[in-house]
Amino acid sequence: MRKLTYYIACTIDGFIGDPEGDATSMFKYSTGSYMQEMSAEYPETIPTHAREIFGIDAENKHFDTIVQGRKSYQLALDIGITSPYGHLREFVATRSLAESPDANVELIAEDLVGRVRELKAEDSPLGIFLCGGSTIAGELIEEIDELVIKTYPEVYGTGMPMFGAGFQPREFELGSVRAFDNGVIVRTYTRKR
């Protein structure tokens, strides 16, 4: 069974964006040793166009598939990119797009949980990267096997939470913790079963 990993950036107070989902204030932390280490460890999480800009030519280490929400995907569409993760199999959870703008992007309009379970059941040594956002993370919370949380040294006070789900405690076990000189902390958790 393949793992579904929610690989996400957030503020100290757990928001992945402002109330509209904008996280551009966090971009300034994607520099130095933090960016070098994360790019080396998780090269497949860097969008294809950014990999080209930064000269990243690495094989996928953890994931061969990405699932993202419509709002996350819209960020790429807004700059004219229809396949932001062309080096992965791309799935976009959406009820608003009727047709995929790219042959590499499969739309999931119905039964997101069922489709993700099918992807997890596939025979592959690599896992599935859940890119965001809050709504699909909330929908898929029971399917998430691992969390990789990149916490940036900012407090928003309010905004888009990591999980758009109702209250129900779920336990995860802490794996690794890494701190970087720019104030970023990366924690990895595994779901307790």
Number of independent structural domains in the chain? 1
- Please report, for the domain that includes residue 81, its CATH number: 3.40.430.10
Domain assignment present for residue 56? The answer is yes
Domain assignment present for residue 11? The answer is yes
Domain assignment present for residue 17? The answer is yes
SS (H, E, C) the chain: CCCEEEEEEEECCCEEECCCCCCHHHHHHCCHHHHHHHHHHCHHHCCHHHHHHHCCCCCCCCEEEEEEEHHHHHHHHCCCCCCCCCCCEEEEECCCCCCCCCCCEEEECCCHHHHHHHHHHCCCCCEEEEEECHHHHHHCHHHCCEEEEEEECCCCCCCEECCCCCCCCCCEEEEEEEECCCCCEEEEEEECC
Token pair for residue 3?
């793992």
Kindly give the confidence (pLDDT) of every residue in the chain, 193 residues in length, as a single tens digit, with 9 standing for 90 and above: 999 999 999 999 999 999 988 899 999 998 889 999 999 999 999 999 998 888 888 999 999 999 999 989 999 999 999 999 999 999 999 999 999 999 999 999 999 999 999 999 999 999 999 997 899 999 999 999 999 999 999 999 999 999 998 889 999 999 999 999 999 999 999 999 8
| pTM to 2 decimal places | 0.95
Over residues 147-168, the pLDDT tens digits come to 999 999 999 999 999 999 888 9
- Nearest partner of 48 among 81, 10, 24, judged by Cα: 81
Domain assignment present for residue 37? The answer is yes
- What pLDDT was estimated at residue 165? 87
Range of the domain at 47: 6-179
